[in-house]
Structure 1
Amino acid sequence: MAINQRLDLKQGQTLTMTPQLQQAIKLLQMSNIELSEFVEAELEKNPLLERDDSMSSEKPAESPEPEAPATGEDGEPLPPRDDAESDAPPERVEAPLENDGGERELDTDFDNVFTGGGMAEQEGGYDAFATSSFASAGKGGSLKFDDPEYSFENNMAKETTLRDYLQDQISLEFEDNSDRAIALVLLDYLDESGYIRTDIPALASRLGCAADRVEKVLDKLQHLDPAGLFARNLSECLSLQLREQDRLDPAMQALLKNLDVLASHDLKKLKTLCGVDEADLKEMISEIKALNPKPALEFEHFVSQTVIPDVLMRPLPKSKGGGWAVELNNDTLPRVLVNKTYYTEISNSAKAKKDKEYLSEQLNTANWLVKALDQRAETILKTASEIILQQEAFFLYGVEFLKPLVLKDIAEVIGMHESTVSRVTTNKYIGTPRGVFELKYFFTSGVSSTDGAAEFSSEAIKARIKSLIDAEKPSAILSDDDLVVSLKKDGIDIARRTVAKYREAMKIASSVQRRRQKNT
């Protein structure tokens, strides 16, 4: 067979993900903090970019005036929704928000380019602080960082350790200096798991005090937070945690004294020792499994971070036609401008080809970033607005009226891909009259009603289960089967195991445990 060479032409279409498109997709799913960090990095390396401070300079110092409500194509305010007016809220709704709802069309003409798949603490206490340069600054003085006695490192905020946390509690709990000294010595014998690893009589002898006194100090230490610390063995550690939960009844004490029997899985013997039936014993074992055998390892210092919403919404008064005003939170949106005047000046003076190519590249990057930020903002606003329309009953009446919603429902209305909706709702928050929620919160699976006329979201079913349990009487604790019957009366037909799954997800105890808690 002869081997020949030939040239063939073939025409076809392929999807090319340019670097800029890939970056635009990343921008879309960034949180406001991540976006601010990205923009700051771009400002540092691109000489043609500058921060746009016009928004903040034009606004007064007081609270900013919200944007005008969303309008229809004719420019008129959005009218109230007809279905919101016709559906009267059920009797269990105590205080619905004063709003008629609003149906509106977004006056945006946005091209969807995202069609691809894929988803201070200071040492020395108050006295030291009062004599520091910070105190003088608070009285109208100035900070003197050139003071040779001033140490910036000593004034930096430090992470609180478990030892620091316990020392603060010891200072408050022990008024007697001798008892406080004993407590601090016992603290030195606390191991990394939170147990006391020393012999109390021997320690008392070394300290030159009675063993009873050390025992009393230890007992007081065992009441500190977190529960379970300063125990001498596993049984005592678990009992301290159960005591904190008010669950240390005689049956549980008997179980803790026989952990070796529990380890051998001799449930028949345990039922006899504890004096309980099999159902109660299983619940007790489940409670013990939920405890922490090494409480000291659980301690971490968490810095509380305030969630800043990306989108703000508020109800409009009925005098203005009702509906909702929806706007982006400008405080979370980094704004940049392209300094074309500066580009003209330096491009005219640039002689080398390499310099001109660099300036051209930076100009294209700057223009792209400005456009990408605008597209991101419009996409977030469009998605959030449609979510508000779809979940209007939730904002009016509460969580029990949260409708089943999937990404496809929003994507079809706003004309975007599901992956785009998924990205735009990740790590984005909306401030509402009912609180701050992640946009992902409003997407939930649904269960059809018994008559097929309506659907209930999983969050709505959870809320209904919680309300039923909250209303139960100590003499009539509802089992999971009872909850199934009650839900079926409301048109919600789900299995008992589904009720149990929802109950456990809300960290609500079983009927056996609730009966024991409410009748003790």
Structure 2
Amino acid sequence: MAATQRLELRQRQSLVMTPQLQQAIKLLQLSNLELAAEVDRELEQNPLLDRDEGANDTLLDSPSMDQQAEAVDPTSEREVADPDTVQRSTAENLPSSADEPLDTDYENVYTGGAAFEGPGSEPAFSTRGAAPSGDDEFSLEQRLSGTLTLRQHLSEQLQIEIADPTDRAIGACLIDQLDDNGYVTGDLVELAGQLGCPFERLEAVLHLLQGFEPTGIFARSLAECLALQLKERDRYDPAMQALVENLELLAKGDHARLRKLCGIDQEDLAEMIAEIKALDPRPALSFEGEVAQPVIPDVLMRPDRQGGWIVELNAETVPRVLVNSDYYAQITSAVRSKKEREYLNERLQSANWLVKALHQRATTILKVATELVRQQDAFFRKGVEHMKPLTLRDIATEIEMHESTVSRVTSNKYIATPRGTFELKYFFTASIAGANGTAHSAEAVRHRIRLLIDAESSKDILSDDTIVELLRKDGVDIARRTVAKYREAMRIPSSVQRRREKAGLVNQT
């Protein structure tokens, strides 16, 4: 068969991830701290981007208090706890992509809010931008900058208590071996070999360091940590030593065996246990190594006067950036080469896309949060027992987005509510079958299990099988292994361990 050449025309569809689309997806899944760092990098790299420091800018034309929302249609087929108190979040009442701020005018600044506004005169559920708050001249970070760290505290004691330079060097290495709780980690024999000193000398330095403050530091185990604190209080007698050396029996609640090992009665054992509980098992935690970053909510929620909810973006977590059109016009007139013109146009396009991506991110977060609040209305009004089973697909279907988008939006994003601050993913819980075709949230079932166990008496400890029977009487169809899994996840001991613990408390009284 002879080889021939020919031309063919074929059509095919393919998904192309443009750099702009990749940037939008990347920004969507970032937390507010990561987003701030990313925007800072863009501001450094793009001369056409500026940070807006204006305090009087409004957030995407937030509506007035009388025009914040539109009441939902009572005839809606969607099942909600109270359909008259929430607004349906659809594409019709959200800003369209055509309204996104893409022009380069200096006045067009993205400030990170979105307004849901409708014609209804009785607003019941609204979403709007939050007013920015002023910066505190004396911030928490500034006040914490002079905090004494554990390493500094121990190093100061090392310089005072140990004069020999070699022992000081060994002590400095041992300080490096401390974990977050203040325990010495690693193989000390291997460390002595690395330092080229006898193990006995390293151990002697370790004993000196164990006398440093805070008491219990440089212990190699929990038992040694407690023993150091008891010795400092002059309470480490033979009976207490036997108790500390058998902490596993104390954890199991085996008081009978402990009384036998320590040679004491129940009253003495109760007093010794109380002393153990008063000690600090993690002495290093009294010193802060790094400043803990508080959770800053991305979305704020509060009750409305009409009985609904107001959901708004937290302006403190939304970067305020703008495209400097004046600077663009100024340097455009001075551009001579094609390469410079191409670079300038690329920077302008990148700046516009960043503004658009930030707007899309804020709008999407607000859209998802609004629907989550609407779906979980019963939880916010009545508590965790009324949490509704919810999946990513449920939210994605209602707001007409893809599940992957909802997943990215709810990761590392937090909402401050009257019931506390929660990650958005908290509201997605598995469904557990109930009577008459109803479904129960896994979180609500876990809460019921905890309430049942908290209410049990020392004479009537509930086994997992008994909990299953009680839940089934309430219409929750659950397996025993599921109850055990939930109980262990909440760190609740088994019925045998709880019986021992509560029997010990009764004996103490």
Taking structure 2 as the reference length, what is the TM-score of the superposition? 0.64
Are 1:26 and 2:15 matched, yes or no? no
Q: 1:79 to 1:13 in 2, by over 3 A?
A: closer
1:71 shift after superposition: 6.8
Are 1:508 and 2:492 matched, yes or no? yes
User: 2:319 is matched with which residue?
Assistant: 334
Q: Deviations over 1:367-395 (max 9, x none)?
A: 11111111111111111100111111111
Alpha-carbon distance between aligned partners in 1 of 2:497 and 2:213, rounded to the nearest angstrom: 24
Instruction: Report the 3-state secondary structure (helix = DSSP H, G, I; strand = E; otherwise coil) of the residue aligned with 1:456.
Output: strand
Are 1:398 and 2:386 matched, yes or no? no
1:434 shift after superposition: 0.8
Alpha-carbon distance between aligned partners in 2 of 1:438 and 1:411, rounded to the nearest angstrom: 18
1:316 shift after superposition: 0.8
Q: Which runs of structure 2 are paired with 1:39-438 in the superposition (5 Å)?
A: 39-54=39-54, 56-58=55-57, 76-77=70-71, 101-106=85-90, 107-110=93-96, 157=146, 160-161=149-150, 164=153, 192=177, 194=183, 301-318=289-306, 322-438=307-423
Alpha-carbon distance between aligned partners in 2 of 1:317 and 1:81, rounded to the nearest angstrom: 23
1:105 shift after superposition: 3.7
**Which of 437, 453, 456 is the equivalent residue of 1:469?**
453
User: 1:484 is matched with which residue?
Assistant: 468
Contact 1:313 1:430 survives alignment (8 Å): yes
Alpha-carbon distance between aligned partners in 1 of 2:228 and 2:460, rounded to the nearest angstrom: 30
Are 1:444 and 2:441 matched, yes or no? no
The one-letter amino acid of 2:490's match is M
Alpha-carbon distance between aligned partners in 1 of 2:47 and 2:63, rounded to the nearest angstrom: 32
Alpha-carbon distance between aligned partners in 1 of 2:340 and 2:221, rounded to the nearest angstrom: 73
Q: Deviations over 1:69-126 (max 9, x none)?
A: 7979xx64558999999979xxxxxxxxxx97423345114459xxxxxxxxxxxxxx
1:232 shift after superposition: 8.2
Contact 2:416 2:422 survives alignment (8 Å): yes
Contact 1:69 1:325 survives alignment (8 Å): no
1:236 shift after superposition: 5.5
Specify every segment of 5 or more residues in structure 1 that has no aligned partner in the other structure, as ranges: 60-64, 89-98, 113-154, 169-177, 179-184, 207-213, 242-249, 260-269, 275-293
Alpha-carbon distance between aligned partners in 1 of 2:47 and 2:497, rounded to the nearest angstrom: 65
Are 1:517 and 2:501 matched, yes or no? yes
Alpha-carbon distance between aligned partners in 2 of 1:85 and 1:25, rounded to the nearest angstrom: 31
Q: Deviations over 1:141-198 (max 9, x none)?
A: xxxxxxxxxxxxxx95477336837999xxxxxxxxx9xxxxxx9x96989574799x
User: 1:95 is matched with which residue?
Assistant: none
Alpha-carbon distance between aligned partners in 2 of 1:457 and 1:18, rounded to the nearest angstrom: 40
Q: 1:392 to 1:57 in 2, by over 3 A?
A: same
Alpha-carbon distance between aligned partners in 1 of 2:476 and 2:156, rounded to the nearest angstrom: 53
1:310 shift after superposition: 0.8
Alpha-carbon distance between aligned partners in 2 of 1:222 and 1:100, rounded to the nearest angstrom: 64
Alpha-carbon distance between aligned partners in 1 of 2:7 and 2:474, rounded to the nearest angstrom: 72
1:350 shift after superposition: 1.3
Contact 2:300 2:416 survives alignment (8 Å): yes
Q: Deviations over 1:418-454 (max 9, x none)?
A: 00000111111111111111111111111011x2342
Instruction: Report the 3-state secondary structure (helix = DSSP H, G, I; strand = E; otherwise coil) of the residue aligned with 1:349.
Output: coil
Alpha-carbon distance between aligned partners in 2 of 1:257 and 1:479, rounded to the nearest angstrom: 27
Specify every segment of 5 or more residues in structure 2 that has no aligned partner in the other structure, as ranges: 99-143, 162-167, 189-199, 230-238, 249-256, 262-280
Q: 1:83 to 1:236 in 2, by over 3 A?
A: farther
Q: Which deviates further from its counterpart, 342-351 or 21-30?
A: 342-351
Q: 1:222 to 1:43 in 2, by over 3 A?
A: closer
Contact 1:487 1:493 survives alignment (8 Å): yes
Contact 2:81 2:377 survives alignment (8 Å): no
User: 2:264 is matched with which residue?
Assistant: none
Taking structure 1 as the reference length, what is the TM-score of the superposition? 0.63
1:486 shift after superposition: 1.6
Alpha-carbon distance between aligned partners in 1 of 2:423 and 2:290, rounded to the nearest angstrom: 21
Q: 1:447 to 1:257 in 2, by over 3 A?
A: closer
